[in-house]
């Protein structure tokens, strides 16, 4: 079975290979491509794989720019820390959407879905005058139904405060008082307007899922910012943005090139 992995995070790529080996689908390590441009070059010079495992934010940008430039005809299983691309993933050849961090059980369910769909399409290709050819993409009606099904009937509950263990005891930090969150050497910190850094448990990605996405947006791999504390945004070099924050000490953070376009959309609401 020919598999292609599009993933820029070494640990995530290694986990995908290990899960494939555990499932008996990778006697030889599949190719791992870390950028949109290298993926485009690979697809131009190799036969179409049977299956693609695809992250969404690669080293040089959003993977959907790749799928706009090259027609990928095989199924795609998306592996990402971002849930806002769900509908976009299923508009093309996406058959599963695994949110990081995911375990082997979720991974194997996605593989089972691939095997099931593959068997269904093989049977559908047999000559049958009464059956139409299988569609190559989801219809607008199906996308509309999927969108409606994904809407929650009740408002999601987002985190309102943190209990932070300090030497003097437990400090209660209100989420609204956090100017930005920052991952630094394996530890996630909440930083308030005075510049005080509060160590939190869990990764930045895990924390992001607990926060209201209308209030907190991602600047790059290591920082989330509170929209209420953004004072000014200016162009920065290499397609990045400099974000000045309202705080007692002047704080200027920068977006990554890969995250700039998504950050602009988030700013506009």
Tens-digit pLDDT string for the chain (269 aa): 899 999 998 889 999 999 999 999 877 889 999 999 999 999 999 999 999 999 988 988 889 889 889 999 999 999 988 766 667 767 767 888 998 888 999 999 999 989 888 776 555 444 444 434 444 444 455 445 544 544 443 445 788 899 898 888 889 999 999 999 999 988 999 999 999 999 998 899 888 988 999 999 999 999 999 999 999 999 998 889 999 999 888 899 999 999 999 999 999 87
Supply 235's token pair: 């162009």
Specify whether the CB–CB gap between 205 and 223 falls below 8 A. Answer: no
Comparing CA positions, the residue from 91, 27, 37, 83 lying closest to residue 60 is: 37
Comparing CA positions, the residue from 179, 215, 184 lying closest to residue 194 is: 179
CA gap 64, 57 in Å, rounded: 9
CA gap 53, 113 in Å, rounded: 14
The H-or-E segment that residue 4 falls in is strand 3-6
Specify whether the CB–CB gap between 242 and 236 falls below 8 A. Answer: yes
CA gap 220, 94 in Å, rounded: 25
Q: Buried b / exposed e across 173-187, counting CB within 10 Å, b at 16+? A: bebebbbbbbbeeee
Specify whether the CB–CB gap between 259 and 57 falls below 8 A. Answer: yes
- Please return the burial class of 57, using the count of CB atoms within 10 Å of its CB with bins 0-12, 13-18 and 19+: buried
- Name residues whose C-beta falls within 8 Å of residue 224's C-beta, 6 or more positions apart in sequence: 180, 181, 182, 204, 207, 208, 211, 216, 217, 218
Give all domains of the chain, ordered by start, each with its CATH number.
3-150 (3.40.50.2300), 161-267 (2.40.50.1020)
The H-or-E segment that residue 20 falls in is helix 10-22
Q: Write down the pTM of the prediction.
A: 0.49
* Per-residue model confidence (pLDDT) at position 192: 95
Three-class HEC string of 54-102? ECCEECCEECHHHHHHCCCCCCEEEEECCCCCHHHHHCCCEEEEEECCC
* Per-residue model confidence (pLDDT) at position 148: 52
- Please return the burial class of 155, using the count of CB atoms within 10 Å of its CB with bins 0-12, 13-18 and 19+: exposed
Q: Phi then psi for 256, rounded to 5 degrees? A: -85, 160
């Amino acid at each position: 079975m020919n598999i292609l992995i599009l993933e820029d995070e070494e640990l995530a790529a290694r986990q995908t290979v290990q899960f494939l080996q555990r499932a008996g689908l990778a006697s030889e390590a599949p190719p791992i491509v870390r950028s949109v441009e290298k993926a485009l070059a690979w697809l131009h010079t190799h036969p179409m794989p049977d299956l693609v495992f695809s992250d969404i934010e690669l080293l040089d940008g959003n993977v959907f720019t790749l799928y706009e430039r090259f027609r990928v005809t095989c199924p795609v299983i998306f592996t990402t820390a971002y849930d806002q691309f769900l509908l976009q993933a299923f508009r093309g050849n996406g058959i599963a959407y695994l949110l990081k961090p995911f375990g082997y059980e979720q991974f194997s369910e996605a593989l089972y879905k691939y095997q099931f769909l593959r068997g269904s399409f093989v049977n559908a290709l047999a000559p049958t005058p009464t059956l139409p050819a299988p569609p190559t993409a989801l219809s607008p009606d199906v996308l509309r139904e999927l969108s409606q099904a994904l809407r929650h009937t009740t408002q999601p509950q987002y985190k309102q405060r943190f209990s932070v263990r300090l030497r003097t005891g437990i400090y209660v930090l209100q989420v609204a008082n956090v100017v930005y969150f920052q991952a630094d050497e394996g530890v996630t910190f909440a930083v308030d307007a005075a510049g005080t850094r509060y160590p939190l448990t869990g990764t930045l990605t895990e924390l992001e899922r607990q926060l209201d996405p209308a209030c907190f947006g991602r600047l790059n791999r290591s920082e989330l910012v509170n929209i209420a504390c953004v004072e000014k945004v200016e162009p920065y070099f290499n397609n990045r943005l400099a974000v000045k924050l309202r705080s007692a000490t002047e704080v200027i953070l920068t977006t990554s090139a890969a995250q700039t376009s998504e950050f602009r959309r988030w700013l506009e609401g």
